[in-house]
């Protein structure tokens, strides 16, 4: 699952109280699912290159090959470019850090500045919109005067699990 709890929500202390050390109670990193790893990407490009060149074997030594070759290589180059761009767009990450007195959600976009949201965890409400949101089981955090989405790139099942973890976590801190 593309959610990694660096500090588990079930290990969070029950109410830290007035004499808490102020350390991190929980930390989670979220990222989009990558169905094709980098190693598979290279293998896919190599196999595609050989499969595209296979029909040109009978054309070896003819001028027709030189007419087709730029288009065949251009198709492989475009495939490489768009798959690589997909990887760069998938570098989106979200990091949720919870202390006893505040919570911060940082979204690092692949192109553009990072976005941050902070609030007091005692006033944060975790909400899941099963329908009506941009995606199924849309999870939001409401507090600090606004609502922010979290994990919109996850699958519906992963968002349900995230929702349960966040509700449990915020209930323990409050």
For tokens 């989009």, the residue is 32
Q: Give the pLDDT band (50/70/90) at residue 11.
A: low
* The token pair that represents 40 in the structure block: 């598979």
77 with 131, same domain: the answer is: no
Tell me if 27 is assigned to some domain: yes
63 with 128, same domain: the answer is: no
Q: Which of 74, 89, 104 is the last residue of a domain?
A: 89
Tell me if 113 is assigned to some domain: yes
Question: What is the pLDDT, as a whole number, of residue 150?
Answer: 94
108 with 166, same domain: the answer is: yes
Question: DSSP letters along 46-75, please?
Answer: HHHHHHHHGGGGGGTTSHHHHHHHHHHHHH
104 with 27, same domain: the answer is: yes
Judged against a pLDDT cut of 60, whether residue 57 lies above it is answered with yes
Domain count, the chain: 2
Tell me if 16 is assigned to some domain: no
Judged against a pLDDT cut of 50, whether residue 19 lies above it is answered with no
Summarised one tens digit per residue, pLDDT across range 103-151 is 999 999 988 899 999 999 999 999 999 887 788 889 999 998 899 999 9
Tell me if 167 is assigned to some domain: yes
Contact between 159 and 128 (Cβ < 8 Å)? yes
30 with 104, same domain: the answer is: yes
46 with 119, same domain: the answer is: no
Q: Is 141 exposed, middle or buried (0-12, 13-18, 19+ CB in 10 A)?
A: buried
129 with 158, same domain: the answer is: yes
Question: What is the pLDDT, as a whole number, of residue 5?
Answer: 87
Summarised one tens digit per residue, pLDDT across range 79-93 is 999 999 888 887 889
Mean pLDDT, the chain, integer: 87
51 with 118, same domain: the answer is: no
Tell me if 111 is assigned to some domain: yes
Question: What is the pLDDT, as a whole number, of residue 134?
Answer: 85
Q: Which of 56, 74, 89 is the last residue of a domain?
A: 89
Residues 6+ positions from 18 with CB-CB distance below 8 Å: none
Question: Which residue range forms the structural domain that includes residue 49?
Answer: 38-89
Tell me if 18 is assigned to some domain: no
């Amino acid at each position: 699952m593309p959610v990694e709890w660096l500090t588990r929500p079930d290990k969070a202390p029950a109410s830290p109280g007035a004499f808490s050390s102020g350390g991190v109670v929980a930390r989670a990193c979220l990222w989009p699912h990558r169905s094709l790893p980098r190693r598979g990407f290279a293998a896919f490009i190599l196999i595609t290159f050989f499969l595209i060149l296979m029909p040109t074997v009978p054309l070896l030594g003819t001028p027709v090959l030189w007419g087709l070759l730029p288009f065949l290589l251009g198709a492989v180059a475009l495939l490489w470019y768009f798959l690589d761009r997909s990887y760069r767009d998938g570098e989106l990450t979200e990091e949720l850090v919870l202390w006893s007195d505040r919570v911060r959600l940082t979204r690092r976009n692949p192109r553009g500045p990072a976005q941050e949201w902070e609030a007091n965890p005692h006033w944060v409400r975790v909400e899941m919109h099963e329908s009506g949101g941009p995606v199924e089981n849309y999870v939001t955090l409401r507090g600090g005067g606004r609502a922010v989405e979290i994990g919109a790139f996850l699958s519906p099942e992963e968002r349900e699990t995230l929702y349960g973890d966040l509700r449990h976590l915020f209930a323990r801190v409050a």
